[in-house]
Amino acid sequence: MNIVLIILLVIAIIIAFLLVAALLSSEEYSISQEITINKPKQQVFEYVRILKNSDNFNKWVMMDPAMKKTYNGTDGTAGFVYQWDSENKQVGKGEQEIISIKEGERIDYELHFMKPFEGKANAWSNLSSIADDQTKVQWVFSGLRNYPMRIMHIILNLKKALGKDLQTSLVSLKSVLEN
């Protein structure tokens, strides 16, 4: 009987720790990765600004080749909307809109996730020249997390997992552009 009580106490302490940690964690989150691509900044920018090109490097897009995609507007311009719908729970359903573009330097997006959970996030890509033929690309996701999502972020270590996925996508982008 003592062993059962000890196990229940340990489980209760773990749950209490997670609940308090989530309560104390920030409502805001930001995940960022960067890579250097051996191509001129304008060439990299012209490729990255076209959302349809993400089919060739974005890990989440590449996870489901059968994903349904729809597009509204002119790709590579503010107001363009890319919608996806996948049976793969890691891809889900949602949309991404180009919110603004600072020519040659930055592209801002708004993401709306519908499945497997509802959520919104902001994302942007910053490009800067390191040399005439080298460009640093930084990809950032940020947003707000409600209390239940803060618990999920802690349990699943989403910052690390999403950071790894961003880096995988950037490595693919580098490979596409350098080959």
Residues 122-159: tens digit of each pLDDT: 999 999 999 999 999 999 998 877 767 777 777 777 77
Cα 86 to Cα 1, 4, 10, 81, 91, distances in angstroms? 48, 43, 39, 17, 6
Given pLDDT bands bounded at 50, 70 and 90, which one contains residue 102?
Answer: very high
Q: Is the pLDDT of residue 172 over 80?
A: yes
Q: Give 12-40 pLDDT, tens digit per residue.
A: 888 888 777 767 777 787 899 999 999 99
Lowest-confidence pick of 20-24, 51-55, 71-75, 100-104: 20-24
Can you give the pLDDT at residue 32?
Answer: 94
Can you give the pLDDT at residue 52?
Answer: 96
Q: What percent of the chain has pLDDT over 90?
A: 65
In this structure, are residues 107 and 98 in contact, taking their beta carbons and an 8 Å threshold? yes
Of 32, 63, 37, nearest in space to 175 by CA? 37
